Structure 1
Amino acid sequence: MPTPMRLFLSTAIVAVGAIPAAAQNAAVTFGTNWVAQAEHGGFYQSVADGTYAACGLDVTIVPGGPQVNNRALLLAGQMDFHMGGSTLDTIAAVQEGVPVVAVMASFQKDPQVIITHPGKAASFADLTKLDKILISDGGVLTFWAWMQKAYGFKPEQREVYTFSAAPLIANETWGMQGYLTSEPYFVEKEAGFKPDVFLIADAGYTAYSTTVEVMAETIANRPEVVKCFVEGSIKGWANFLYNDNAAAIELIKKDNPEMTDEAIAYSIEAMKTNGIVDSGDTLTMGIGAMTDAKVQDFYAKMVDAGVVPAGLDLSAAYTTQFVNQGVGNDLRPAE
């Protein structure tokens, strides 16, 4: 499960060319934003199969968690790369003036969902008829505000979500926020019924998610390292989804012994079926793609919903110079 929105910004971006020798044998750290899970699989894949090593990086993955603040380590210069949350991080970063750049979007769709009892809603718009929807405090300030503006959800429908599914299970006319790759699985395990799942991204919430972020100074001084890490991660995601991922799964379970093969398999299938990683622009541009048009589209929606102010210049908070080049497209299975 991802942590709430993070506050970041970037400064200048430099052009990227071929990987020079300076990238070779560079030891770098990558901090995730939660405990090890399938949603981090592409990064573990490139450690496990040597993809990072092949372009000169010795990558150590540092898992996040409820008591871990890898973001602070990145800002303090003690970590090289960090797993951000969503496009909202980019927007909030501009407000905060923090020199961090988003260089890749692992997820083309935010995996946030609304979960209900079976047959209680026929469409996303139909969710407005539910008595209550469990929404976290963080959700109120982000996707819930958009849901109210775009679909007419009422403030009084919101019930505080404390990350327990018990209220949903006990109330058939309630809904609950969740992560596509996690909560539906555990609700089914606990409640004994298969819930209906509505992906907010498919309803028009166009944020990127699970970004890769780096200090602007790193891009300026070590662009070859950034290029290697981004392209290695892209290849890792393609191989994790479509090829032999057994070694990566073992590394995930090593870092998180509570993670089961069944839960990992569920998450991978959910990501593939719903196009979380590989859909839309990535089909031609490659996994990790970002476009100015999509960032600006989401920003406009958040301004309209009253989440963020108008007039922010987001151009320095992310760069497309390391993505959109079709890297990893040859790793997909032939159709």
Structure 2
Amino acid sequence: MNDFLVHGHRLRHLLLTAVVLFLLASCHGCAPQQSERVRLGLNWKAEPEFGGFYAAQVKGLYQAHGLDVQIIEGAANAPVLPMVAAGQLDFGIATGLEVLAARQRGADIVALFSVYQKSPNCLMVRASSSIRSIAELMRSGYDVAVGPGQLYVEYLQRKYHPVNVRWVPYLGGVSGLLGNPRLAQQCFVGSEPELARARGVPTRVFVVADEGVDNISALLVTRGQLLRENQELVRRMLAAIGLGWRDYLADPAPTHALIARLNPAMSLSILDTMLREQRPFMLGDATGFERLGRLEPAMWERLQGHMLDFGSLDKPIDLRSAYREYP
């Protein structure tokens, strides 16, 4: 996208945000006078993958929609879905695999908004490695550090059978890669690779979705009971978040200033690079924001097919109850 189009998108969405804020502030009967408290639980630390949620806070969009939103940072294996299901969180962040697995166990979890249109899950090795593809990695004898429940592990083992790697637990960050030149690890596009580069170790990154398996990453979810009993709250939350993401992608600087304070490991330059590399995964093949947040049947049908094939699901579930199409 050339500079003229980028600045045009930025100007239009900044003007849209300003108009919405003005109308909501001047319309005494349009929004509740008492802000409704909401808890949003993340499944990782503050990073650009959550930028739009923070932007809605920075720009006062939650408040403009009558919401007092507390954003709670997570960590590796944070129990976000159980907390949403139990009502300890009103909204949370999860993957599509986690949503379908939770519904199979009887948890009434519903997805509302997808940060990514293509999963940014990747595997990375040191740039000094001779490995040039996932196919080569699967025959390399390397240790491969991944977290629990990664759908692509079974997929890659089948696709490249017999594999010659040792799957080891991923403990977060990039310390394992820095300490072991024959280790590959899971990562997000533009995230851990930038952290490793900042520590003096450039990497080579392989996008797992390009292998033919694509989880749905970074979903905003809620419990079905809240969706049924307080649709107005959900509507306002989605409206604020939608504006937040548009505002963030048009002008990320104010939000990056907040994220850098919340997550000191992230410099402003790293955050800018992370967003630049993740942006195509957020918007898909669209030239504007028309695919932002979209949840479509094909995404879920493909994911369920993989989960059934790999034994992550015992039987098909009713996908129509697992998500609500956005917008």
The reply to whether TM is greater than 0.5 is yes
Distance 1:80 1:282, change over 3 A: farther
How far residue 49 of structure 1 moved from its aligned partner, in angstroms, is 1.1
1:287 aligns with 2:292: yes
Distance 1:312 1:76, change over 3 A: closer
How far residue 178 of structure 1 moved from its aligned partner, in angstroms, is 1.9
Scaled by the length of structure 1, what TM-score is found? 0.78
Aligned to 1:248: 255
Unaligned stretches of 5+ residues in structure 2: 1-23
Unaligned stretches of 5+ residues in structure 1: 1-18, 325-335
Aligned to 2:167: 158
1:97 to 88, 103, 106: 106
Per-residue CA distance 1:286-311 (angstroms, 9 max, x = gap): 31101111111121122223333333
Aligned to 1:79: 89
Percent identity over paired residues: 26
Give distance in 2, aligned partners of 1:58 and 1:295.
31
Aligned to 1:331: none
Distance 1:82 1:189, change over 3 A: same
Contact residue 108 and residue 289 of structure 1 kept, 8 A: yes
Q: Which amino acid aligns with 2:152?
A: F
Give distance in 2, aligned partners of 1:250 and 1:167.
29
How far residue 42 of structure 1 moved from its aligned partner, in angstroms, is 0.5
1:259 aligns with 2:266: yes
Aligned to 1:302: 307
Aligned to 2:75: 65
Give distance in 2, aligned partners of 1:94 and 1:155.
34
Per-residue CA distance 1:238-259 (angstroms, 9 max, x = gap): 221222x232223323433443
Distance 1:251 1:173, change over 3 A: closer
How far residue 281 of structure 1 moved from its aligned partner, in angstroms, is 7.0
How many aligned positions are there? 298
What SS does the aligned partner of 1:30 have? strand
Contact residue 207 and residue 295 of structure 1 kept, 8 A: no
Per-residue CA distance 1:39-80 (angstroms, 9 max, x = gap): 211101011112233333232212223696454443332332
Q: Which amino acid aligns with 1:303?
A: L
Aligned to 1:333: none
* Greater fraction of residues in helix: 2
Per-residue CA distance 1:149-198 (angstroms, 9 max, x = gap): 234362754344444645545655542222223221222233x3421101
How far residue 283 of structure 1 moved from its aligned partner, in angstroms, is 5.5
Distance 1:133 1:278, change over 3 A: farther
How far residue 213 of structure 1 moved from its aligned partner, in angstroms, is 0.8
Give distance in 2, aligned partners of 1:58 and 1:123.
46
Distance 1:129 1:267, change over 3 A: same
What SS does the aligned partner of 2:320 have? coil
Q: Which amino acid aligns with 2:153?
A: W
Distance 1:291 1:172, change over 3 A: same
Contact residue 126 and residue 203 of structure 2 kept, 8 A: yes
1:131 aligns with 2:141: yes
Give 1:222-237 correspondences, 5 Å limit. Answer: 222-237=230-245
Q: How large is the RMSD of aligned CA atoms in angstroms?
A: 2.9
What SS does the aligned partner of 1:131 have? coil
Distance 1:99 1:108, change over 3 A: same
Give 1:1-335 correspondences, 5 Å limit. Answer: 21=30, 25-65=35-75, 69-84=79-94, 86-118=95-127, 120-139=130-149, 141-152=150-161, 154=163, 156-163=165-172, 165=174, 168-169=177-178, 172=181, 174-190=183-199, 192-243=200-251, 245-272=252-279, 275-280=280-285, 285-320=290-325, 323-324=326-327
Give distance in 2, aligned partners of 1:108 and 1:145.
22
Q: Relative to structure 2, which stretch is displaced further, 93-102 or 45-54?
A: 45-54
Give distance in 1, aligned partners of 2:77 and 2:138.
35
Q: Which amino acid aligns with 1:290?
A: L
Give distance in 2, aligned partners of 1:195 and 1:26.
45
Scaled by the length of structure 2, what TM-score is found? 0.80
Give distance in 1, aligned partners of 2:174 and 2:92.
29
Q: Relative to structure 2, which stretch is displaced further, 215-224 or 50-59?
A: 50-59
Distance 1:200 1:77, change over 3 A: same
Give distance in 2, aligned partners of 1:239 and 1:218.
27
